[in-house]
Amino acid sequence: MNAFGNPSPGSRQADEKLTTIAIFAPHGRDAQVALKLLEKEGYDAVTVDTLSELGSHIRNHIGCILMTEEAMASDNLAVVQEAIADQPSWSDLPFVVLSNGTASQRSRNATSRIDTLRNVILLSRPLHAEELIRAINWALAARVRQVQARQHVEEIELRESQLLESETRFHTIVNSVDQMIWSTRPDGFHDFYNDRWYEYTGVPKNSTDGDAWNGMFHEEDQERSRRIWQHSLDTGEPYEIEYRLRHRSGAYRWVLGRAQPVRGPDGTIKRWYGTCTDIHDEVVARTEEVHELTKQRDTAWDLTEDLLAVVAQDGSAETVNAAWQRQLGYAPEELIGKTFEPLLHPDDMDKTVAAFDNIENDPVAKPYENRLRHKDGSYLTFVWSATMRNGRIYAFGRNVTEERAREAALAETEAALRQSQKLEMIGQLTGGVAHDFNNLLMAIQSSLNLLQKRLVAPSDEVSRFIDNARQATERGARLTQRMLAFARKQDLNAHVVDVGALVPDMRDLLQRSLGAEIELEMTVAEDVAPALVDRNQLEMAILNLAVNSRDALDGTGTISITVDEVDWDEPRDLEPGRYVRISVSDNGSGMDSATLSQAMEPFFTTKGVGKGTGLGLSMVHGLAKQSGGTFIMESTLGEGTKACLLLPVAEQDAETGEAEAEAEEQQTKTDRSRVILAVDDDFLVSMGTVAMLEDLGHEVIEAHSGAEALTQLSERPDIELIVTDQAMPKMTGVELAQQVRESRPDMPIILATGYADMPEGGAKYITAKLDKPFSDAGLAKVLGDVLKG
């Protein structure tokens, strides 16, 4: 609404044209002034320049027309009068005419023509803007009322037409369908039947009243039908029932009766409409099908291997099938009238009771699993589905004992595969790290060796510094070896080790690592056989287990280490036989089953950030497996942990094994000086390698790429042996060896590399592999083996 209390532009009707104001003032500035005023008030207004254009707006059912008296002075008003005459009967277009209020001849001529416009609001000038807006509001409101009246009349005419059409259609439909159709008053009195009802029942047409149904029902169905119909009348609920109705032939046939109430706006029932459908053939077929299905059900009930049972609400069996005897050994008569509780595994009692409670609360309960005792005392696993109908539980149980066993085996296999994949991933990581680290160690170690040899009478302090640095490089080399061994990328240096002597020798080292607050107990059985294992790796494994136990003690406690020999025959992934057992136990915090199951996985740790890598136990496990043994952990939360490392007993005694190992490490010297080509793209490593070869008495030619090496080889036919790095840009060591073999097939080639594995295809071209970092003794041994071989 606007300030005058009349409908504002915001409340206009849907037809936008009815809210538009056409301004026809062809003389002076009246049109522009009026347009500006109306647009300021929010109206949709347009100016009209000619009578022809004005006639078009009239025919388009515009909202109203604002025009001046001067515009009426034209002698050619026929086009406007024709447009007004062409308006539909409901339309009476409002005109707001601005009069000059003078007695001039032009004013008198214009005034005489105003009557031809029919619906005119005449305003005398000068006038206030509010007066004009009020007149416009009134004109538009009148126009809206015209449209509303038109719509109301049209709606009434449409409803009357639709009602007539609906009644005609209704009678046509109800008398053409194959169903019997009837209707009643709200009290149930029948007052309409279609033609099909009369034809079906044989009752004379139009001779029925509200009691026409009497005698039409089969006597066995009459009381039931009456009771259900009365219930629908009392409650307003839809009616549906199958009963037998007397056919015109005198036979009774099955029909499906349905009825729905029709309610008024206040919710009260105004009428019932019902149908009767002949379903006699369907009922007969259905009855026969039920008999056949019953026979099939009984056959399936007896033949299925799944357990079937109907259970009363108190849990007792009302009936069971023969599968109970075939699966569990119990005849039906041994189970009927009793509960299944005596057959349940004790650990499954609570969840089975909970499942039965869920069935009572949810008609479609989720499947559940439990174990039932066979008559022979064994337990079988079953998956159950159950539902409740009419106060009884219908249960279906399938034997999944073998399936669960297969799943357990598959889970174990998948766990082993995941472990293998993790180790492979770590191997790829450590392989790259070890190569770069070994190159650095190689440069440092060779420089230290040369420095020690070149110094003349060094002071004790300088010698100590050199020894400390050499020990650090050796520790770094052992670290990369342990990483590669853990990742199964490098073979262990296995020897016969007297474990019974090794463990006591580690007491001081272990005690310093554990701290004074931890009590260390050691027990070594007499005459413990030696084991075949990498001594350095074993020491690291024992130290690792002891440190883990220390961390579990939270400052104080006791750690026990025992060494003994066992005859192993337990069903574990380990060959039966004699094994040396090293046990590390503590009385610390222990682990729950979930943590214990993950303890040996790579990178798994329960320690805080920066306090553990999660690789310790994995490395111990890897050492045990590579050595032909196993690693077992037992733990109870709050009581402590016991870790057992089992290693196969060695066939040799410890003294013989140590002597052989010492013999393998003896330096092998060559019989004469050789001309050797040394190839390495790392200048620091190359410098150390050349110096070691020269110290061994050989003439060395140096090259820093594969291409340079081939050039030197072509210029120096006296070269007798090549020592080459593997990872070089543009041409690897193996690729260099392949090209050398084309011209010098008998040339000995040693591949010096920080990688653990021989590169793919390398064995075909490489004579020997030398692991970085290497010492002068290690280099001399490989040279001797190659030149003598």
User: Tokens 């022809």 belong to which residue?
Assistant: 52
Sign, CA dihedral 36-38-40-46, equals negative
Assign 343 to helix, strand or coil. Answer: helix
Domain CATH code at residue 365? 3.30.450.20
**Residue 9: is its pLDDT beyond 60?**
no
* pLDDT at 208 (0 to 100): 61
Domain CATH code at residue 645? 3.30.565.10
Among residues 604, 632, 659, the one where a domain terminates is 659
* pLDDT at 299 (0 to 100): 84
Question: Residue type at 172?
Answer: T
Among residues 627, 642, 659, the one where a domain terminates is 659
Q: Indicate whether 148 and 220 sit together in one domain.
A: no
- Up-side HSE of residue 237: CA atoms within 13 Å toward CB? 9
**Residue 467: is its pLDDT beyond 80?**
no
Q: Indicate whether 216 and 243 sit together in one domain.
A: yes
What backbone phi and psi angles, to 5 degrees, belong to 254? -75, 135
Q: Indicate whether 265 and 370 sit together in one domain.
A: no
Query: Does residue 508 contact residue 444 with C-beta atoms inside 8 Å?
Result: no
Q: What is the CA radius of gyration of the chain?
A: 54
Residue 143 parent element (H or E): helix 129-174
Query: Does residue 576 contact residue 615 with C-beta atoms inside 8 Å?
Result: no
Assign 39 to helix, strand or coil. Answer: helix
Q: Indicate whether 39 and 105 sit together in one domain.
A: yes
Q: How far apart are CA 307 and CA 327, in angstroms?
A: 8
Is 3 among the domain residues? no
* pLDDT at 212 (0 to 100): 64
Burial of 740 (C-beta count, 10 Å sphere; 0-12/13-18/19+) = buried
Assign 174 to helix, strand or coil. Answer: helix
Q: Indicate whether 684 and 720 sit together in one domain.
A: yes
Residue 58 parent element (H or E): helix 51-59
Assign 82 to helix, strand or coil. Answer: helix
Q: Indicate whether 271 and 188 sit together in one domain.
A: yes
Lowest mean pLDDT among 56-60, 700-704, 708-712: 56-60
Is 484 among the domain residues? no
Q: How far apart are CA 359 and CA 341, in angstroms?
A: 17
Taking only the tens place, the pLDDT of each residue in 16-70 is: 567 899 999 988 888 898 899 999 989 999 999 888 898 888 888 889 999 988 8
- Domain count along the chain: 5
Query: Does residue 334 contact residue 321 with C-beta atoms inside 8 Å?
Result: no
Q: Indicate whether 236 and 310 sit together in one domain.
A: no
Q: Indicate whether 141 and 102 sit together in one domain.
A: yes
CB neighbours of 773 closer than 8 A, spacing ≥ 6?
438, 441, 442, 444, 445, 446, 473, 477, 754
Lowest mean pLDDT among 40-49, 58-67, 454-463, 545-554: 454-463
What backbone phi and psi angles, to 5 degrees, belong to 171? -65, -35
Query: Does residue 114 contact residue 68 with C-beta atoms inside 8 Å?
Result: no
Strand partners for 586: 559, 641
Q: How far apart are CA 342 and CA 529, in angstroms?
A: 53
Is 757 among the domain residues? yes
What backbone phi and psi angles, to 5 degrees, belong to 713? -65, -35
Q: Indicate whether 561 and 638 sit together in one domain.
A: yes
Sign, CA dihedral 432-435-441-444, equals negative
Is 297 among the domain residues? no
Is 736 among the domain residues? yes
Taking only the tens place, the pLDDT of each residue in 641-659 is: 898 998 999 876 654 444 4
Taking only the tens place, the pLDDT of each residue in 729-773 is: 999 999 999 999 999 999 999 999 877 667 877 888 999 999 888
Taking only the tens place, the pLDDT of each residue in 668-694 is: 445 578 999 999 998 888 888 998 899
- Three-state SS string over 410-458 comes to HHHHHHHHHHHHHHHHHHHHHHHHHHHHHHHHHHHHHHHHHHHHHCCCC
Is 426 among the domain residues? no
Kindly state the DSSP code that residue 341 receives in the 8-state scheme. Answer: G
Domain hosting residue 267, numbered range: 175-284
Q: Indicate whether 74 and 16 sit together in one domain.
A: yes
Is 465 among the domain residues? no
Please give the C-alpha separations between residue 33 and each of 23, 129, 285, in angstroms, as whole numbers: 10, 10, 88
What is the largest distance, in Å, between two alpha-carbon atoms of the chain? 149
Q: Whole-angstrom distance between the N-terminal and C-terminal Cα of the chain? A: 114
CA-closest candidate to residue 491, choices 441, 544, 546, 532: 532
CA-closest candidate to residue 213, choices 157, 262, 283, 274: 274
Among residues 120, 153, 186, the one where a domain terminates is 153
Provide the pairing of β-strand 392-399 with 518-524. Answer: unpaired
Q: Indicate whether 705 and 744 sit together in one domain.
A: yes
Q: What is the dihedral of CA 279, 284, 289, 290, to 10 degrees?
A: 90
- 200-209 long-range contacts (CB < 8 A, ≥24 apart) are 200/245, 200/247, 200/248, 200/276, 200/278, 201/245, 201/246, 201/247, 201/248, 202/247, 202/248
Please provide the average confidence, as pLDDT, over all residues in the chain.
83
Domain CATH code at residue 133? 3.40.50.2300
Taking only the tens place, the pLDDT of each residue in 229-271 is: 999 999 999 999 999 999 999 999 999 999 999 999 999 999 9
User: Tokens 């036919």 belong to which residue?
Assistant: 717
Is 450 among the domain residues? no
Query: Does residue 558 contact residue 586 with C-beta atoms inside 8 Å?
Result: yes
Q: Indicate whether 103 and 224 sit together in one domain.
A: no
Q: How far apart are CA 517 and CA 556, in angstroms?
A: 5
* pLDDT at 490 (0 to 100): 52
**Residue 667: is its pLDDT beyond 50?**
no
CB neighbours of 168 closer than 8 A, spacing ≥ 6?
none
CA-closest candidate to residue 754, choices 775, 734, 769: 769
**Residue 210: is its pLDDT beyond 70?**
no
Q: Could you please report the per-residue DSSP string of 596-661?
A: HHHTTSTT---SPTTS--S-HHHHHHHHHHHTT-EEEEEEETTTEEEEEEEEEBPSS-HHHHHHHH
* pLDDT at 240 (0 to 100): 94
Which pLDDT band, with edges at 50, 70 and 90, does 486 fall under? low
Burial of 539 (C-beta count, 10 Å sphere; 0-12/13-18/19+) = middle
**Residue 605: is its pLDDT beyond 80?**
no
Please give the C-alpha separations between residue 724 and each of 681, 716, 732, in angstroms, as whole numbers: 9, 17, 9
